[in-house]
Amino acid sequence: MVLLYCENITPRVKYITRFMLVNICGFEFKITNDKSEYQDYKGASINYSSKAFDKIEIRVSPASLLFEESIKPVAPRIEKKPQDVYFYLPSTDSNEWVNDPFSASFFLLSRYEEYLPFTASKYNSYEAGSSISFREKILDRPLVNEWAEQLKRQILEKFPSTDFRINEFSPLISIDIDQAYAFQHRGCWRNLLSIARNSFSFNGKMLSAHLKTFFLKQQDPYDTYDYLKKIQEKSKLPFIYFVNLGNYSSFDKNLDSQNTAMIKLLTEINSYSPVGIHPSYFSNDMPGKFIAEKQSLETVLNKPVTKSRQHYLKIKMPDTYHHLINAGITEDYSMGYSTQPGFRAGTCTPFQWFDLSKNLETSLHIFPITFMDGNFGEDLKMNPEEAGQAMSAYIDTVKAYKGTFLCIWHNQTVNDRFFWKGWKKIFEQLIEELNAEI
C-alpha cells in the first residue's frame, strides 16, 4: 500500500491522488493527515507537504491549486525537455513556483482552463486553439499518465516490494450516426431540394449517386451498417454507436425518431451493440430539448439511455455536464476536440468528472477520445496513408500507458466514396492493428 501524507486533505487532493495512484498506477492507497501514522508506516510513503519527515519517503512540494476552493486565473509555466514536460504552478508559498505533478494533473484533468475566459470557436465552444497543450505542442501526449508513471517508478525504486495492479490496454470503436442515410427514407421534399442543390452547385458525384440510389436501386452511400456489423463480429472489438435525433436544422440532418426506417435501424444496431444519444447542436443550451431527444431514443430502444456524446464535441463547462447528470446520463464520450486529435484532458484513462464550480467529484464517468476520423482528413488535410500512420502512433502511445483507446468514426466515412475514398482501407488497418493487441 502507498500512504500519502497531506496536512490539508481537500476534495481536490483526494480526487487527483486517488486517480493517479489507484486508477493509473494500480496501487492500494490511503491518505492521512496523522503525522504519527505516517511517521510509523514502513511501506511506500509520499509526503505531500512542505516539511520533511525523518524516514524514507518521496517528497512532492505542493502547489496551492489543490488547497483552493474557488476558480482563480492561473497559467502554468511550461518547461519542455527531450523526454519530460513540467508544469510549474504557484506553491503554497506564493513567492515560489513548483513542479507538482498532482496539481498539474488536476489542472488538465479538471479542464481548469475551460472555466477561464476564452475565445469561442465557430461552433460557440472551447476548441484546441485555446488550450495550453495545443499551444505548447504537447496535445499528443497523455501527460497525466506520463507523470503518474514517473511517480510509480520512483515509488518502486525506493519501495520495490510495493504491490500494484497491472492495467490492460482497452480499445473501443465508436460510430457517430449524424445522418443515417444520404438519400433514402428522407421524404420527397428533402430529396428534391437535395437534387436541386447538387445540380446548381455542379456536385456531379453526389447527384449521380442520388439518382442511382433511386433509379438503379444502388445502396445508399451512408448505409454501411451491415459492413460495420461484420467488422465488429469478425474482430471481437467492442463497438458503441451514438445517434443524433434532433429536429432538422443546418447542423442536424438525421431522420426523425418516429421514422419507420430509423426505428428499424436503431433496433437492429441495439441487438448487437450499445447505443447512446448524440445530442443535437442546439440542445447544448436547451436542456429540455436534450431530455426530449433522450426520451425519444429510450422509446425506440425500450430501455434507459445512459451514454452520451456531444454533437461537434461541444462542451461548455460546467453547464453541459450538469445537464447530462440531471438527465440521467452516467457516461460521456465527448472529451476530445472536433478539430485536433490528442488528449484534451491530458489522459487516456477514463475518469470521474470533477465539477470545479461546486468543488466536488461527480458520478459522471468520462471516456477521453484519442482522435476522430475528421481530425486527419478534414482538419489536418492528411491523405489516408498519412492519417493511417498518425493513427498507429496514437495507438502505440495509448498502448504504452495501458489506457483506453477511444476513436470516433462515422457511418459515411467508411463507405470508400466521395471525400472518403481510401479511408475504408485505413479503418480496416486500424481494426486489424487493434485486434492484434487484445
pLDDT tens-digit series, residues 74-112: 999 999 988 899 999 999 876 799 999 999 999 999 999
pLDDT category of residue 207 using cuts at 50, 70 and 90: low
Residues 28 and 152 in one domain: yes
Residues 102 and 241 in one domain: no
Closest CA to 349 of 18, 20, 100, 17: 20
pLDDT, average across residues 164-193: 83
pLDDT, average across residues 43-51: 96
Spatial contact of 348 and 397, defined as CB atoms under 8 Å apart: yes
H helices of 29-136, where? Answer: 35-40, 101-109, 132-135
Residues 143 and 174 in one domain: no
Q: What is the pLDDT of residue 186?
A: 65
Does residue 214 belong to any structural domain of this protein? no
Does residue 193 belong to any structural domain of this protein? no
Residues spanned by the domain of 109: 2-158
Q: What is the pLDDT of residue 191?
A: 52
Residues 293 and 393 in one domain: yes
Does residue 373 belong to any structural domain of this protein? yes
Residues 300 and 410 in one domain: yes
Q: What is the pLDDT of residue 212?
A: 60
Per-residue pLDDT reduced to its tens digit, 115-136? 999 988 888 899 999 999 999 9
Domains in the chain, number = 2
Residues 144 and 174 in one domain: no
Residues 126 and 151 in one domain: yes
Sheet of strand 371-372, all strands in order from the earlier edge strand to the far edge: 351-355, 360-368, 331-335, 307-308, 275-277, 239-243, 170-177, 404-410, 371-372
Residues 117 and 175 in one domain: no
Does residue 255 belong to any structural domain of this protein? yes
pLDDT category of residue 277 using cuts at 50, 70 and 90: very high
- Helix, strand or coil, per DSSP, at residue 384: helix
Q: What is the pLDDT of residue 437?
A: 86
Give the whole-number percent of the chain exceeding pLDDT 70. Answer: 92
pLDDT, average across residues 261-278: 97
Residues 268 and 371 in one domain: yes
Q: What is the pLDDT of residue 250?
A: 84
Closest CA to 9 of 68, 89, 67: 67
Q: What is the mean pLDDT of the chain?
A: 93
Per-residue pLDDT reduced to its tens digit, 343-364? 999 999 999 999 999 999 999 9
Residue 210 has pLDDT above 60, yes or no: no
Handedness of CA 186, 189, 192, 197 (dihedral sign): negative
Q: What is the pLDDT of residue 184?
A: 75
The C-alpha cell of 107 is what? 489542472
Tell me the one-letter amino acid at 421: K
Residue 201 has pLDDT above 70, yes or no: no
Which positions ≥6 away from 377 have C-beta within 8 Å?
Answer: 384, 387, 413, 419, 420, 423
How far is residue 313's CA from residue 417's CA, in Å, rounded to a whole number?
A: 25
Choose one of 158, 192, 208: the last residue of a domain.
Answer: 158
Does residue 112 belong to any structural domain of this protein? yes
Residues 112 and 177 in one domain: no
Does residue 325 belong to any structural domain of this protein? yes
Residue 218 has pLDDT above 70, yes or no: yes
Does residue 408 belong to any structural domain of this protein? yes
pLDDT category of residue 385 using cuts at 50, 70 and 90: very high
Q: What is the domain-level CATH number for residue 318? A: 3.20.20.370
pTM recorded for the entire structure: 0.94
pLDDT category of residue 29 using cuts at 50, 70 and 90: very high
pLDDT, average across residues 304-327: 97
Residue 219 has pLDDT above 90, yes or no: no
* Maximum C-alpha span of the chain: 84
Phi, psi (degrees; rounded to nearest 5) at 221: -60, -25
Does residue 199 belong to any structural domain of this protein? no
Residues 77 and 176 in one domain: no
Give the whole-number percent of the chain exceeding pLDDT 90. Answer: 84
The C-alpha cell of 382 is what? 492528411
Q: What is the pLDDT of residue 120?
A: 86
Residue 52 has pLDDT above 90, yes or no: yes
Residues 110 and 82 in one domain: yes
